Structure 1
């Protein structure tokens, strides 16, 4: 009976070693891939062209609010003017916050709309790359639960190259 149990344990370890030898795991950073590939750069350029001027305008308004806040804190005004400035900064801050939220939502909406086809291409490229290179599993590096990734497993650069090839070929 002991020999049978020992033999069974040996077979289990033997088969586990074979199974692990055939498993090839890859990890990629989807965020980095999206930022660094040509498709992602096109999306970024379109977003910058559409929202860049508005972003600069909001930044200048924020800086003006900060200057006004510093003036109020330094008590550079008489009491009547001080109260008017406090009311003004509250109003302008509220308006800026509302404008900024609308701006962020617009960027997010357009980013999702422009990024959706790129994500579909990314998914296709990852599947083709992993199949061609005999990867058993590929994880996004930002997936919750991945606590450690050994050097050499990151295939992000390879995925970027494949996406760039796809872009250059006009697909």
Structure 2
């Protein structure tokens, strides 16, 4: 029992001493960095060019579905039961096809986005490491990873974006 008490006292003392150690801590928003750095902007343009035609097709299909639904409602009284059921089946099939297309589209975007972000994240990590060493930071945290408060001077996100943009302009 005395050993447990003795160990807990030592542990408490060690933790309190480390709490008073002077260390510089920074906070970075990776999402903000990716969206606002030149690499991220180039990726966004590439993604837009690649997926905009697919997006327009999906929107076109949605418009056609609304038109078909409207026709079904307007012709509801005039159609015979069998013709009405055929149109309803056709409409449900088209709705399922559209939903499948939307899901596939979102999955393609997500997969491509992850593939495109990987080299950017590697550059970001490199820049953060170099920036942290150069500026004397003990620790740099990601702001959405549980940081509930960060003072104004602790957020270095804009500085990281600036460093990344310098790296892109240098052609690296």
TM-score interval, normalised by the smaller of the two chains? 0.7 to 0.9
Q: What's the RMSD between the two structures over aligned residues?
A: 2.4
Which digits, 9 at most, give the CA deviation of each residue in 1:22-42, with x for residues without a partner? 211111110111011110111
The gaps in structure 2 that reach 5 residues or longer are: 1-12
Pairing 1:52–2:77 present: no
- Counterparts of 1:141 and 1:67, CA distance in 2: 46
Aligned in 2, Cα 1:17/1:103: closer, same or farther, shift over 3 Å? closer
Aligned twin of 1:3: none
Aligned in 2, Cα 1:66/1:141: closer, same or farther, shift over 3 Å? farther
Spell out the pairing of 1:36-51 with structure 2 (5 A cutoff): 36-51=36-51
Spell out the pairing of 1:120-135 with structure 2 (5 A cutoff): 120-135=122-137
Spell out the pairing of 1:87-106 with structure 2 (5 A cutoff): 87-106=89-108
Aligned residues: 157
Pairing 1:164–2:162 present: no
- Counterparts of 1:54 and 1:17, CA distance in 2: 54
Normalised by the length of structure 2, the TM-score is: 0.79
- Counterparts of 2:16 and 2:114, CA distance in 1: 48
Residue 141 of structure 1 and its aligned partner are, at CA, apart by 1.3
- Counterparts of 1:14 and 1:146, CA distance in 2: 21
**Over 4 Å off, 4+ runs:** 11-18
- Counterparts of 2:101 and 2:84, CA distance in 1: 25
Of 118, 121, 133, the residue aligned with 1:119 is 121
Aligned twin of 1:85: 87
Aligned in 2, Cα 1:51/1:24: closer, same or farther, shift over 3 Å? same
- Counterparts of 1:108 and 1:13, CA distance in 2: 43
Aligned twin of 2:65: 65
